[in-house]
Amino acid sequence: MEEKSRPVSLEFFKRPLEQLREPNWSITRVKGKQTLSCVALSKDLIGCYVHYARGRSQPCIDADTCEWCLSGVPRRWHSWFGAVSLSGQSKSIVEITLAVMPRFDEWIRQNGTLRGTRVDLARAGKRDNGRLMCMLERGAKKSNELPGAPAVAQMLRRMWDLPEHTPIIESQAPNVLPLFDRKEA
């Protein structure tokens, strides 16, 4: 009788892995007539190039082999951060466009973090594709009074059905084509 091989290692957890995963947060994109006021939970933004294809944003992983780049679909830079509504009742991952990135970068340089910042977003001209505008100001709550920040990159990976080990490449310029920019926010 053949001897059964034993597992090399066995991991024990206090809960099933499904329970250890962070719940999915909804993605919030400001549309034409909407305004959004929230408090940032993330310390920084995380972003990548995306294509709008098949009715949704698709990540541009490699411009040389990307099916959307090769098909001529334009790509755009989008960034995300975790946020909570001013009332504290709802949490989401907020999407911003390249148009407001300089304002966010300036804020983070001056203040060292986005966390705790009040963020107000609206679209110019009240059109869905109008230029995104933002106002940033110090929040009323201290960082330690806020809920924890979500794992934004992990949630985007899951949404796009990318492997969990997809690397996060730290880069300061969007011309380097990282899948995600900056450290996990």
> Residue 7 domain-assigned?
no
Taking only the tens place, the pLDDT of each residue in 63-122 is 788 899 999 999 999 999 999 998 888 899 999 999 999 999 999 999 999 999 999 999
Taking only the tens place, the pLDDT of each residue in 18-72 is 544 556 688 999 998 889 999 999 999 999 899 999 888 889 888 788 899 999 9
Neighbours of 113 (CB within 10 A): 14
Domain extent, residue 172, equals 23-176
Please check whether residue 46 is in contact with residue 153, taking contact to mean a CB–CB distance below 8 angstroms: yes
What CA–CA distance (Å, rounded) separates 166 from 180?
9
Neighbours of 99 (CB within 10 A): 14
> Residue 49 domain-assigned?
yes
> Residue 184 domain-assigned?
no
> Residue 143's pLDDT is what?
82
> Residue 45 domain-assigned?
yes
> Residue 70's pLDDT is what?
92
What CA–CA distance (Å, rounded) separates 162 from 147?
27
> Residue 63 domain-assigned?
yes
> Residue 38 domain-assigned?
yes
> Residue 182 domain-assigned?
no
Using 50, 70 and 90 to split pLDDT, how confident is the model at 137?
A: very high
pTM: 0.78
Please check whether residue 63 is in contact with residue 177, taking contact to mean a CB–CB distance below 8 angstroms: yes
> Residue 2 domain-assigned?
no
**Total domains in the fold of the chain:** 1
